Structure 1
Amino acid sequence: GWCSVQARTPRTVATLERNFEQTSAYYVLEEVARELIRTTSLLGRTNRELQRKVRQVGPSPLELS
């Protein structure tokens, strides 16, 4: 239970308890908004978006040959 988690990771539990309201507010947001605020790295966010688009489109004719 919670006590065993607290015993193994006391700093993590303390942070969660201290910032629970802010942490749980993240999950109230729509998925699109969560994706935008998930990282502060614009480059990382842009790369993930490009990878997602490439997966949606599928392989190019050059990749198939």
Structure 2
Amino acid sequence: MGSEDGATPPDLVHGFADAIPNSDFQVIEGAGHLPCIETPQPVAAAIAALTTRAKNREHAQ
């Protein structure tokens, strides 16, 4: 989510993420409501990191 998102403020969304087991809440600094369009590189990096962590967890079991 973007740090400058006026439609869904980070503080509100963070509360929802806390309620989801194994969730990964990330704020993209400087992005607004559409970080995947406004800042695609940081979003892609966050998705890649999440995918790597998920694969590592799967192999650890």
Q: TM-score, normalised by structure 2?
A: 0.36
Q: Give the greater-gyration-radius structure (CA).
A: 1
Structure with the bigger RCO (C-alpha within 8 Å, sep 6+) is 2
Which has the larger share of helix? 1
TM-score by length of 1: 0.34
